[in-house]
Structure 1
Amino acid sequence: MTPPPYVVGVDTDVTTLRDADHLLRELAAVFPGREDLYGCTHLVRRGGRRRVALSLGSRSRTAVDAARGALTAGGHTVTDGAWDDRGRAVLYPGAAALTGTLTVAELLDRSAIERVRVLGTPGAPDPATPLVTREFVRPHWEDGTLVLAAMPHIGATLVPFEDPAPTPCCADH
């Protein structure tokens, strides 16, 4: 599946991925026809200001135009297009079905994710390999394909690379 052809970017003052995820879900509520909605976060730095910008996209121009109007009316700065081509997908078709432990094949079958890449290993994982979702699956766009980075976990399972509750750097100092 390729990225959606109709996309709007939303500038924010948000500086953390957690806050960006929350805001993205909030803003997605104005989007009609959310079954094919893609919502991504993008780490940007413009004008010396670091932040997490958002993009919302769909295969429906009408839905994106309606969302653009609602977001602008809500006081958001909206532009055409995504911030970059490597967005971190939070909202995408099938995301809600990725709960519990699934095989790699089930994950690919139930969602818009097209590939799983296991860090530190060559090649694709066996489709029968269990993946513990932790109810937090954040793939990235890579060359027009949604790819989930995963890592080995306990008992020959995999987990998504991004941790839902990361420990802040130097938290024990």
Structure 2
Amino acid sequence: MTVLRWDLGHRSVRDAEQWLASLPPVPGMVACTQLVRDDRPRVAITIAAPVKTELPSGGTSVADHGTGRAVIYPGVELLTGTMTVADLLAKSAIEKVTVIGGAAATTQTMLDTRAFVRPQWIDGVLTLVATPAPDGHIAPFEVPNPTPCCADHD
């Protein structure tokens, strides 16, 4: 699959995800967001899709998704509720789970998905970064509706 990159000037991850959600569904597509940190911070998008897929114009070819975080990927719609790591790996394109803080996740570790699973490309492997959660479970590190930094300050 060819990977294409769009830099449309999205100012937030939410804006980039809304643009991705407006695209027609394509089986096998992987779409990622990537933070661009330069004099004009923004969020770029990479998409890999089967060869004959109609994608918006303006994308430029790149080698891979870099360190992007996947928003659309095979199986994402199945990652709801609580499931074992083995189920997550079997049902989706995610290949690996790592837990912050050094705790190990086995295939039988329970994952509370929060219906919001955003894996990242780490060393070319689609990896879910998780954090310890109550009852010995783990949960995706990224939360669905994060509180903006300094939200409680005037």
Task: Please give the range of the TM-score, normalised by the shorter of the 2 chains.
Answer: over 0.9
| Counterpart residue number, 1:125 | 105
What's the offset of the Cα at 1:129? 1.0
Alignment partners' CA distance in 2, 1:104 and 1:83: 26
| Counterpart residue number, 1:61 | 51
What's the offset of the Cα at 1:82? 6.1
**Given the alignment, which residue of 137, 142, 150 partners 1:162?**
142
Residue 172 in structure 1 maps to residue 152 in structure 2: yes
SS of the equivalent of 1:35 reads: coil
User: 1 or 2, which has the higher helix percentage?
Assistant: 1
Provide, for residues 35-80 of structure 1, a one-character-per-residue CA deviation record: whole Å limited to 9, x for no partner. Answer: 100000011135x21100111112x2222xx31xxx12xxxx3211
| Counterpart residue number, 2:35 | 43
Mapped contact 1:9–1:83 kept (Cα < 8 A): no
Alignment partners' CA distance in 2, 1:15 and 1:157: 34
- Unmatched runs of 5 consecutive residues or more in structure 2: none
SS of the equivalent of 2:52 reads: helix
Residue 5 of structure 2 aligns to which amino acid in structure 1? G
SS of the equivalent of 1:102 reads: strand
SS of the equivalent of 2:150 reads: coil
Alignment partners' CA distance in 2, 1:117 and 1:167: 24
Mapped contact 2:96–2:127 kept (Cα < 8 A): yes
Residue 111 in structure 1 maps to residue 107 in structure 2: no
- Unmatched runs of 5 consecutive residues or more in structure 1: none
| Counterpart residue number, 2:124 | 144
Alignment partners' CA distance in 1, 2:100 and 2:89: 18
TM-score by length of structure 1 reads 0.82
Mapped contact 1:42–1:83 kept (Cα < 8 A): no
Cα distance change, pair 138–36 in 1 and its aligned pair in 2 (3 A): same
Q: For residues 9-28 of structure 1, what are the structure 2 equivalents within 5 Å? A: 9-26=5-22, 28=23
TM-score by length of structure 2 reads 0.92
Mapped contact 2:130–2:138 kept (Cα < 8 A): yes
Cα distance change, pair 171–83 in 1 and its aligned pair in 2 (3 A): farther
Residue 48 of structure 2 aligns to which amino acid in structure 1? G
Alignment length, in residue pairs? 153
